[in-house]
Structure formats: structure tokens, C-alpha cells
Amino acid sequence: MRLQATVEETMNTDVIIVGMEESIKRAAELMSKHRAGSVIVMGGKHLKGIVTAEDIVYKHVAKGQGDKVSDVMTKDPYTITPDKTIEEASQFMAEKRIKKLPVVVGEKIVGIITASDIIRIEPALVEILLEKLKMGKSEDAMHTRTSSDLNQCENCGNYADDIEDASGVWMCSSCRG
């Protein structure tokens, strides 16, 4: 069984949006107030970037870079659509080595999904996400099924990397006996 929860079911729709000319201080205040790790930067109706707490610490505080969010933001951030599975989101995030993905329909921001959101919804993806972030696997390797992929045992419900068909039921080695 593959993990089928969607980005739409998992994403946070309360996105904090700032303009490109917003101060880094104001972005940090909004992040603190909403207990969020990022803000989306818009230029008019268009997604221009994302600013994370790490951007503020590493670029602004540590290096003294800029005063506006446009000075420290990640420009043209990767995005994902709501119809993707959280497994696909997790793999994409691991491949790109990112922790936050704006969710878009066309050019409209409809939410944001984070590694923390995925972990909260599907704890079994923690191991996959961590392993792939550490290994930095290529896209080809991530889309190739291997014995290290975690799948769900249809008998006990646990996730394992040794799921096999046993009389038409996908089971882990513990349940196969």
C-alpha cells in the first residue's frame, strides 16, 4: 500500500503573506505572532519568494544582509499542487533539500506544506524524508522502487521495508511468520 494522503488534506491554508518591500523585522514579527517558520512574498498577485526563519538568521542577522524581505528571500521558490500525495511532496522536498513548499493552483497561493506537516500526518515518512535528505538522492533514485521503500502491511498496519505478497495480502515478515 502506498501512502495516499494528499497535499490538500495536509497543507496549512493560513498562509502569511508579505509584500516585497516589507521589512525583515515585520516578517519576523508576523512569524513569531503566528508561530510560523516562513512567510510568502508576493509582488502584486504573483509569488515572488519565500522567507524562512533560517533566511533571517543566516542572511540578515549573521551577515547583515538587507533590510527588506526581498533582500533575503529565496526567489522563485519551488511549488507543489494540492493534488499531489504527501509521499510525492516528501520526496520532492528531500530531493530539493527544502522544508517548505507553497501550494498553488495556477498562480494562486492556496496553502503551504512543510516537512513538519507531513511528519504530523504520516510519521512513517519521517524515516524516508530524513534518509533522503541525508543521502541527497537523485530524482531517478527516488522514483525507483527499492527494498528500502516503506510500505504498509495490510495485516498489522505497520510500515516496513520487507512487504511481500502472501496469498493476495501485502504483509511484513513478522505477519508472514
Q: Give the integer Cα–Cα distance in Å for 52 and 45.
A: 20
The answer to whether position 149 is within a domain reads yes
The answer to whether position 136 is within a domain reads no
Sign, Cα dihedral of 109, 115, 117, 121 = positive
pLDDT of residue 177: 79
pLDDT of residue 63: 92
Give the chain's domain count: 2
Q: Give the integer Cα–Cα distance in Å for 128 and 133.
A: 8
The answer to whether position 139 is within a domain reads no
Residues 95 and 170 in one domain: no
Residues 106 and 69 in one domain: yes
Residues 13 and 68 in one domain: yes
Domain that holds residue 107: 7-121
The answer to whether position 138 is within a domain reads no
Residues 34 and 102 in one domain: yes
Residue-by-residue DSSP string for 16-31: -EEETT-BHHHHHHHH
The answer to whether position 133 is within a domain reads no
Q: Give the integer Cα–Cα distance in Å for 173 and 17.
A: 48
Residues 103 and 52 in one domain: yes
**Predicted TM-score (pTM) of this structure:** 0.68
Picking from 2-11, 138-147, 151-160, which range would have the lowest pLDDT averaged per residue?
Answer: 138-147
CATH number at residue 64: 3.10.580.10
The answer to whether position 19 is within a domain reads yes
Q: Give the integer Cα–Cα distance in Å for 1 and 150.
A: 9
> pLDDT tens digits for 81-93?
999 998 899 889 9
The answer to whether position 160 is within a domain reads yes
